Amino acid sequence: MLRSIQGVAYSMQVQADRINVTANNIANINTRAYKKDVVNIKSFDDVLARAVNYDTGELINNVGAINFGSSIDQRRTDFEQGYLGQTGYNTDLAIRGDGFFTIETPDGIQYTRAGNFGIDQDGYLVTQDGDYVLGEKGRIYLPERTIKVNMQGDVSSVLQNQETLFLDKLQIAYFNDLKQLQKAENGNYLNPVGANLTNQGKSEILQEYLENSNVNMVKETQDMLDAKRNYESCQQVIKMLDDTIGKASNEIGKV
Amino acid sequence: MIQAFYTASAGMQAQQKNIDVISNNISNVNTPGYRIKRAEFQELLDFQTGKNNERVTTGYGTKIANITTMSLPDDINPLGMEIVGEGYFAVEDENGNRSYTKNGDFIKLERNGAYYLATKNNDYVLDVNNNRIQIDNNIQQALVSNGLLYPQGNNGEEGIRLAIYKFDSVEGLAMKNKDQYIETEYSSKPYLSTTSSVNSNYYDELAPLAMANQISEITRVVQTQMAYQLNSKTLQIVDEMAGMANHLRY
């Protein structure tokens, strides 16, 4: 009996963890290019229950498999494309496809899909944290502080005499296995397994667009209500088990 | 469990700040030269080291990482001018060949270390005395008052009156390129207009821009409100769940 209470209590904890993740997705619904987290739930390993003779220790028969509840297996990031919204500012870039912008930070190379860039006082293309956006030749210097990017990711500047000067091509990174990517503090991604990079992949760069988060409001609300109802059921079961134990301990033998 | 309380409230606080930024933008739609500000969100992450030394991250909400001031779009020309009344600007090329235009989308042209007011195809703009107009390199925006241009920043210098010519029969003008014309024998001689004057059209160009921004700002208000609502819903649900845990035993 007490064991079943514990199993249900684990399940309550799992539902609470689900709410934590959903709440974080909802909080980041307006974060540029935010990728939602999804939880996978697993049950504890099954154990085989056996009936044995107490006196001799002899096996009578196998009762069957039981398990003691569930836990969070893993949290993974869903890299589904977020929808692209037009902003009208030419330092805003969005990727349609599966690539990532390559960023040079004080902590090394990182990757991001949030293209809300800016031009710093020295004329370099930078992220919101002031980290450099990399082209194939390195940091991207914009001599006239104007930027034009085509679908292939070629960056050019419009000079004062209206001529376009080609500067560099954006360094777009592709990965063999997106699951290997880890989130960094600033919303960028790290590639701890260095060999994960590949040149297989297709992307289009859209200027004056930004990628929005891929959080689906309806899905998250549904998830949250689902978790809440599961939580409620578990609570009811615990109450019921508690009542049953109460009966066993107080009412057996009562005249 | 309790984490989600703080996650949702962090979300609400960030959206509240976002609304502050947007409302400031909206109240400045009619401010000439005002640059739109935009709040940039960032996920809040907590780090732990897992059992195989891997990084386990937990998101606990969002914050406003930065409030960026957006630049004005490229097609806004601070040196742009327009003619009030009828007439044509007089311009000449390097060799002194005169032509006439109504297009006041001027730029600063550098020649031998000096800067001149010029059209986009590098023709010099002329004043009433048929002189090219020198402009100080630090001038970012055409300063025009009472029809006079102050190319040195209005530091006590005399204003320059731009040449505006009229023709008795404009039908007789010959087209030189897409917006420039030259006089012909049919167009009669050009004469200086006494009634027309010039004005900076910088702010006029900003007006449609402000209008467009107003629409996108309202869209963002709706988005923000939605996100705020959703976060408060989370808070409510988490609260109910905490209540259930408290009522396990009654």
- Binary contact (B241, A231; C-beta < 8 A): yes
**What predicted TM-score, i.e. pTM, was given to this entire model?**
0.75
Q: Which of B61, B70, B74 sits opposite A27 (nearest CB)?
A: B61
Expressed in angstroms, the distance from the first to the final Cα of chain B is 21
pLDDT at B241 over 60: yes
pLDDT at B16 over 90: yes
Helix (H, G, I), strand (E, B) or coil at B200: strand
Residue in chain B lying closest to A230 (CA): B241
Closest approach of A31 to chain B, Cα-based (Å):
5
- For residues B77-102, give the mean pLDDT: 86
Q: What is the pLDDT of residues B103-138, one digit of tens each?
A: 888 888 888 888 888 888 888 999 888 888 888 877
Q: Which amino acid is at A63?
A: V
> What are residue A40's phi and psi, to 5 degrees?
-105, 135
CA distance B155 to B134: 15
E-strand ranges in B93-205 read: 98-101, 107-111, 114-118, 124-125, 144-145, 148-149, 160-161, 164-166, 174-177, 180-182, 191-192, 197-200
Closest approach of A186 to chain B, Cα-based (Å):
7
Whose tokens are 């398990």? That residue is A67
- The predicted pLDDT at position B32 comes to 67
Comparing CA positions, the residue from A104, A92, A79 lying closest to residue A181 is A79
- Binary contact (A27, B122; C-beta < 8 A): no
pLDDT at B152 over 90: no
On the CB side of A118, CA atoms within 13 Å amount to: 18
- Binary contact (A228, B57; C-beta < 8 A): no
Residue B54: band (very low, low, confident or very high) from pLDDT cuts 50, 70, 90 = low
Q: What is the pLDDT of residues B176-198, one digit of tens each?
A: 887 889 888 888 888 888 888 88
Judged by a CB distance cut-off of 8 A, whether residue A212 touches chain B is no
Residue pair B190/B165 in contact by the 8 Å Cβ criterion: yes
Q: Which amino acid is at B89?
A: F
Judged by a CB distance cut-off of 8 A, whether residue A241 touches chain B is no
Residues 32-51 of A with CB under 8 A from B: 32, 34, 37
Residue in chain B lying closest to A128 (CA): B66
- The predicted pLDDT at position A1 comes to 64
Residue pair A126/A120 in contact by the 8 Å Cβ criterion: yes
Cβ neighbours of A27 in B, within 8 Å: 7-8, 10-11, 14, 59, 61-62, 231, 234
pLDDT in tens, chain A (255 residues): 678 888 898 899 899 989 999 999 999 999 999 999 998 888 888 888 888 888 887 888 888 888 778 888 888 889 999 999 888 888 899 999 999 999 999 989 999 999 999 888 888 999 988 899 999 999 999 887 888 899 999 999 887 667 788 999 999 999 998 888 888 878 889 888 888 888 888 899 999 999 999 999 999 999 999 999 999 999 999 999 999 988 888 888 776
- The predicted pLDDT at position B207 comes to 67
Residue B72: band (very low, low, confident or very high) from pLDDT cuts 50, 70, 90 = low
Best of A26, A125, A161, A241 to disrupt the B interface by mutation (most B CBs within 10 Å)? A26
* Residues A188-211: b if buried by 16+ CB within 10 A, e if exposed: bbbbeeeebeeeeeebebbbebbb
Expressed in angstroms, the distance from the first to the final Cα of chain A is 24
Angle between helices B3-27 and B202-246 (to 10 degrees): 160
- The predicted pLDDT at position B53 comes to 67
Q: Share the mean pLDDT of chain B.
A: 84
Q: What is the dihedral of CA B145, B147, B150, B154, to 10 degrees?
A: -30
In this structure, what DSSP letter does residue A55 have?
T
- Binary contact (B68, A30; C-beta < 8 A): no
Residue pair A94/A211 in contact by the 8 Å Cβ criterion: yes
Q: What is the pLDDT of residues B34-44, one digit of tens each?
A: 788 899 999 88
